[in-house]
């Protein structure tokens, strides 16, 4: 085995597919009713909130792209923090991403994959069966990535294309054959909707649908000509995602009407599918949604498997000498991938018990990290802002983008404040952030 640089194995399309594949999972299919309920059935206000909440990803991507274009070292966020803030911050960010943020999101999406697999197969599954199936699917994707990173990349590309099919079909059908009068039934005016205080609760739902874009930066070092291609992918992907979300939201509302969607809840997707495809529609859409979720899960696996390796290169994690070793033929970080799998497995056990005994009420373990992650982006945005002040970047990319990205992060954070477990979430994240800083200090002192 060697510790040479990892091969550049992914092209621009795979980078774009990874971002789209992670962000577009099950969220958009099952958040439309939540958004309409929060806005009192106001479709126009729902579209406005999509655009409003999308600020965090669109301008966040544009801002992070400036950092991505200035380094192609492994690690993504941890590298940006290490290079542009300081090494201790890089270690803290790396520990947070490796031990909390990425594994908790991966666990929840694995569980969701198990749920949709059981629905597709017609299995009336208990929580235990859902978790076992989800863990099995997760294990299968890990094996695919370990046996062939190229195959994993091809699956990511294919899953991205497949998951867009139901979005496009329902969007087009709704826009061409839907009834805009139906969408407007019992719908308040935009002015009335804005006065309805509950519309603020729609922001977390939309934000959840956009989360995950930052994960693509963790494989920047595997993207061919990453200084050029990753920034392009970070610009194109969020704009495309926003367009797809709005088209789907408006299309499905035209097909069924806002009151029907609010009444049907998550079942509105099956109803829309039956209207477009006939009786076989629900089954077909179930397959598309399953592929959609698995594509998102595979993107997460691709991202998290690199994190222990990235930390190991900077000696920021125990067992660094083993974790930075690459396989001789494929230059794949096998030990890092196995380590990330074990971390995810531990969180899977925690997730099961929290769901089994209702310890987190109506939330899940991923909420521990999602809200905090947006706060941690703020120092990175500030680094770009400083480059803009020094006129090393133009005013749009260096001033306006980081300011709007920061505003978007604060919007998401404000939604997280509504959670009764917010203090607990912050405490857990602080433990791992502090752990990264303490370990880095320990290693640094040992080297003196």
Task: Please provide the average confidence, as pLDDT, over all residues in the chain.
Answer: 81
What is the predicted pLDDT for the residue at 123? 87
Inform me whether the pLDDT recorded for 183 exceeds 60: no
223 DSSP β-pair partners: 10
Domain ranges across the chain:
12-184+198-443
What is the predicted pLDDT for the residue at 2?
44
How far apart are the C-alpha atoms of 286 and 297, rounded to whole Å?
16
Beta bridge partners of 326: 2
The phi and psi torsions of 11 (rounded to 5 degrees) equal -95, -175
pLDDT of residue 417: 73
Using a pLDDT cut of 90, give the percent of the chain over it.
29
**What values do phi and psi take at 73, rounded to 5?**
-70, 155
Mean pLDDT of 277-298: 82
CA angle 118, 119, 125 (to 5 degrees): 50
Rounded mean pLDDT, 9-30: 72
Q: Which residues pair with 2 in a beta bridge?
A: 326
pLDDT for 368: 72
* pLDDT given at position 195: 44
Question: If phi over 0 gives left and psi between -120 and 50 gives alpha, with beta otherwise, what is residue 333?
Answer: beta
Residue 298, H or E segment:
helix 281-304
> At residue 415, does pLDDT exceed 90?
no
Angle between helices 334-356 and 127-147 (to 10 degrees): 170
Residue 185 has pLDDT above 60, yes or no: no
Top-level class of domain 12-184+198-443: mainly alpha
List pLDDT tens digits, range 124-182.
889 999 999 999 999 999 999 998 878 887 887 787 778 788 778 888 888 887 665 55
> What tokens were used for 406?
């920061």
Q: How far apart are CA 88 and CA 440, in angstroms?
A: 6
On the question of pLDDT at 87 being above 90, the answer is yes
H or E stretch covering 78: helix 77-84
* 219 vs 305: CA distance, rounded Å: 9
What ranges in 331-366 are assigned the alpha helix state H?
Answer: 334-356
Lowest mean pLDDT among 165-174, 304-313, 357-366, 399-408: 357-366
Share of the chain above pLDDT 70, in %: 83
Would you give the DSSP letter of residue 293? H
CB 247, CB 175: distance < 8 Å: yes
pLDDT digits (tens, 9 = 90+) for 201-218: 666 667 667 777 776 666
For 329, the 3-state DSSP assignment is: coil
Nearest-5° angle of CA 176, CA 181, CA 187? 125
Any idea what the Cα angle at residue 385 is, between residues 20 and 441, rounded to 5°?
85
Helix axes 149-177, 226-256, angle to 10 degrees: 40
Confidence of residue 106 (pLDDT cuts 50, 70, 90): very high
Contact 199, 39 (CB under 8 A): yes
Say yes or no to pLDDT of 187 above 60. no
pLDDT, tens only, 214-268: 766 666 667 777 767 877 887 788 788 888 888 888 888 888 888 888 887 656 7
Phi and psi angles of residue 326, each rounded to the nearest 5 degrees, phi first: -110, 150
List pLDDT tens digits, range 331-390: 789 999 999 999 999 999 999 998 888 776 556 788 777 778 888 999 999 999 999 999
Task: Determine contact, residues 21/299, Cβ cutoff 8 Å.
Answer: yes
Distance CA 6, CA 74 (A): 9
pTM: 0.81
Q: For residues 277 and 220, give the distance between their C-alpha atoms in angstroms, rounded to a whole number.
A: 40
User: How many secondary structure helices (H) and strands (E) does the chain include?
Assistant: 23, 0
**Beta carbons within 8 Å of 358's beta carbon, 6+ residues apart:** none
Measuring CA to CA, which residue among 443, 428, 441 is closest to residue 319?
Answer: 443
Say yes or no to pLDDT of 317 above 90. Answer: yes
Looking at residue 136, its pLDDT comes to 97
The beta strands (E) that lie in 74-219 are given as none
pLDDT of residue 411: 77
CB contact set of 445 (below 8 Å; sequence gap of 6+): none
* Contact by Cβ (8 Å): 239, 159: no
- Token code pair at residue 285: 């859409």
pLDDT of residue 188: 47
């Amino acid at each position: 085995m060697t510790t040479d640089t990892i091969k550049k194995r992914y092209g621009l399309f795979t980078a774009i597919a990874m971002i789209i594949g992670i962000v577009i999972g099950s969220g958009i299919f099952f958040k439309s009713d939540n958004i309409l309920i929060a806005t009192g059935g106001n479709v126009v206000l729902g579209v406005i909130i999509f655009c409003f909440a999308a600020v965090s990803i669109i301008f966040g991507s544009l801002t992070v792209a400036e950092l991505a274009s200035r380094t192609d070292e492994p690690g993504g966020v941890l590298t940006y923090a290490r290079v542009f803030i300081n090494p201790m911050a890089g270690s803290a960010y790396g520990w947070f991403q490796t031990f909390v943020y990425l594994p908790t999101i991966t666990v929840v999406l694995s569980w969701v994959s198990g749920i949709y697999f059981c629905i597709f197969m017609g299995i009336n599954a208990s929580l235990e069966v859902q978790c076992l199936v989800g863990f099995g699917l997760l294990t299968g994707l890990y094996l695919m990535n370990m046996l062939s990173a190229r195959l994993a990349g091809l699956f990511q590309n294919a899953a991205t294309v497949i998951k867009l099919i139901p979005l496009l079909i329902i969007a087009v059908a709704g826009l061409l054959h839907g009834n805009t009068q139906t969408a407007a039934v019992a719908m308040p005016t935009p002015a009335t909707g804005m006065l309805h205080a509950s519309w603020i609760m729609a922001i977390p739902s939309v934000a959840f649908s956009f989360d995950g874009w930052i994960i693509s930066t963790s494989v920047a070092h595997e993207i061919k000509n990453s200084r050029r291609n990753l920034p392009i992918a970070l610009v194109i992907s969020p704009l495309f995602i926003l367009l797809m979300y709005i088209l789907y939201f408006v299309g499905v509302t035209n097909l069924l009407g806002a009151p029907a969607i609010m009444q049907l809840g998550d079942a509105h997707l099956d109803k829309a599918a039956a209207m477009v495809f006939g009786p076989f529609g629900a089954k077909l859409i179930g397959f598309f949604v399953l592929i959609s979720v698995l594509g998102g899960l595979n993107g997460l696996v691709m991202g998290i498997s690199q994190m222990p390796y990235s930390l190991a290169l900077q000696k920021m994690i125990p067992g660094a000498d083993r974790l930075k070793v690459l396989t001789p033929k494929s230059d794949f970080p096998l030990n890092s991938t196995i380590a990330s799998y074990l971390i995810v497995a531990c969180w899977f056990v925690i997730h099961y018990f929290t769901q089994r005994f209702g310890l987190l009420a109506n939330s899940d373990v991923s909420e521990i990290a999602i809200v905090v992650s947006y706060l941690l982006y703020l120092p990175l945005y500030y680094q770009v802002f400083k480059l803009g002040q020094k006129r090393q970047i133009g005013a749009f990319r260096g001033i306006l983008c980081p300011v709007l990205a920061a505003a978007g992060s604060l919007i998401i954070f404000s939604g997280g404040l509504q959670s009764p477990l917010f203090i607990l979430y912050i405490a857990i994240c602080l433990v791992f952030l502090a752990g990264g800083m303490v370990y880095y200090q320990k290693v640094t002192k040992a080297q003196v």
